[in-house]
Amino acid sequence: MSTVPGPVPDGGLQAERTALAWRRTALAMAVAAVGAGRLAAPVLGALALALAGAGLLQAVAAGAGARRRHREVRASLLTRGDLSGVPGGGLPVAALAAAGVLTGLLALAFVLGPG
C-alpha cells in the first residue's frame, strides 16, 4: 500500500539553498571568464576578449535560469505542496557546461597560441 505524501514541511528552504548555490556558481563563472580573458588578452587579443564575453554571457544565462527555476519551484511548493508543476531545469546546467567548454578553449588557445 502506498500513501499520499503530506505537505512539504520546509516550504521552500531547500529550493532557496539550491538557488543560492547556483548564484555562487554563476558568480564564479563570471569571475573566471573575466579573469581568463584578462590573462589571455595580451597573447590572443580579440579572440580572448570574445571568448571571455561569451563566458560572461553564459554566466548571466546560468544565473537567470536558476533564478527563474527557483521562482517556479517556490510557487509550486507554496500552491501545490509538491513539484509536479515544475518543468525540467536544463538551462543553468547547459550554460555551465558551455562555459566550461569555452574556458577550456580559451586555455587551449592560450597554451597553443602565438609566442
Q: Where are the domains of the chain?
A: 13-112
Roughly how many angstroms between the first and final C-alpha of the chain, as a whole number?
A: 70
3-state class (DSSP) for residue 57: helix
**Phi and psi at residue 114, in whole multiples of 5°?**
-65, 140
* Dihedral sign for Cα atoms in the order 12, 15, 20, 23: negative
96 contact partners, CB below 8 Å, separation of at least 6: 25, 29, 58, 62
Question: How far apart (Å, rounded) are the C-alpha atoms in residues 5 and 19?
Answer: 24
Q: pLDDT-derived band of residue 94, with 50, 70 and 90 as boundaries?
A: confident
Question: How far apart (Å, rounded) are the C-alpha atoms in residues 15 and 83?
Answer: 11
Stretch (H or E) spanning 91: helix 90-112
pTM exceeds 0.85, yes or no: no
pLDDT digits (tens, 9 = 90+) for 6-64: 555 565 677 788 888 989 999 998 998 888 888 888 888 898 888 889 889 988 988 88
